[in-house]
Structure 1
Amino acid sequence: MKLEIARGVFLVGALAVASAAFAAWQEPQAEVLTQNTLGYCPAPPHVRQAASAVPDKDLLLFMFGMSQAMRGDS
């Protein structure tokens, strides 16, 4: 077998392997996996019953005092 023929057969074989690998390539797509039909993750019952937190009325004053204390006397 001549060298040119062997080189051509090798090239065709390499292209066939590359084409088969490209055809078999599968990338996972971004999707949401759920067990229910709601499409979202429901919160546990004890979390849904929780009352909202009441903000502290002196929080702004506290934050201002902390920022002034961190600044120092310059």
Structure 2
Amino acid sequence: MKLEIARGLFFVSALGVASLAAAAWHEPGPQVLTSDPEHCPLPRGQAAKVVQPDGDLLLLLFGLSQGLRGQS
């Protein structure tokens, strides 16, 4: 096989792979599924309840961040 033919086949195959990769790269963007932004159904058996933050959460995060530091 001549070198020019091999280069041509390689170029065509590389172009095909690049075009397939570009086609697979495209992903749909974020979009709104419902027209009513207030409508957000909850699963059955769950009622909407207000969650109060725990006062110890900040202490826990501080302790975890201190534990990540190396002891010097």
TM-score > 0.5, shorter chain as reference: no
- Give TM-score, length-normalised by structure 1: 0.41
Task: Name the TM-score, length of structure 2 as normaliser.
Answer: 0.42
